[in-house]
Structure 1
């Protein structure tokens, strides 16, 4: 999760919304990275997810489902906002958990 969240942020880099909207390759790469974050979240055992309510697991998994099953209807602005607003917060919440279990993301 952490690895692909960081990749999505790196793909966006310093792009503003118009730059992101106009760059199909970046949009495609970011959508895939965010989808993988959601897939990884879905595979986290439910008891662990329940023990970490500060992570919005359902929201993450829901985003994955939208991206995986309805790409044509996906709003690129929602994807962009997810990367620039939500993913940094997610990384901040995940890092101590991963460090605590000795994982790498």
Structure 2
């Protein structure tokens, strides 16, 4: 789960102070964001359904679904949708992921 945290935090950091025009005008920012979201999607798929159910505020099925789009239908990826995900959906998800990590650490302090 820490790799999910890493990739979300990395996207947030990469887009800090950037405008949508900066994002849309940068091949590297767009591709890095897409790749990070693809990794987040794949990692979310590996979480147990029970764990995902405990944190139902996160739209897990949509996260998993966007990964399929990024991997298999990349020509349909919309710049504005990816910007919206990165700027508006990843920050609250980061808070939840950190709560999940803290709860798991408390349950298994090894």
- d(CA) in 1 for partners of 2:71 and 2:14? 19
- d(CA) in 1 for partners of 2:60 and 2:76? 22
**Residue 97 of structure 1: CA displacement?**
1.1
Moved more, 77-86 or 4-13: 4-13
Q: Of the candidates 89, 92, 106, which is equivalent to residue 89 of structure 1? A: 92
Any gaps of 5 or more consecutive residues in structure 2?
A: none
Q: Does 1:24 align with 2:54?
A: no
Query: What secondary structure does 1:40 align onto?
Result: helix
Give per-residue Cα distances to partners, 1:51-91, cap 9 Å, x unaligned. 22122111111111111111121001111110100000101
Moved more, 42-51 or 75-84: 42-51
Q: Does 1:35 align with 2:49?
A: no
Query: What secondary structure does 2:99 align onto?
Result: helix
Q: Does 1:77 align with 2:99?
A: no
How does the TM-score come out when normalised to structure 2?
0.87
Paired residues of 2:34 and 2:82 also in contact (CA < 8 A): yes
Q: Which runs of 4+ in 1 moved over 3 A?
A: none
Any gaps of 5 or more consecutive residues in structure 1?
A: none
Q: Of the candidates 59, 69, 77, which is equivalent to residue 62 of structure 2? A: 59
Larger Rg: 2
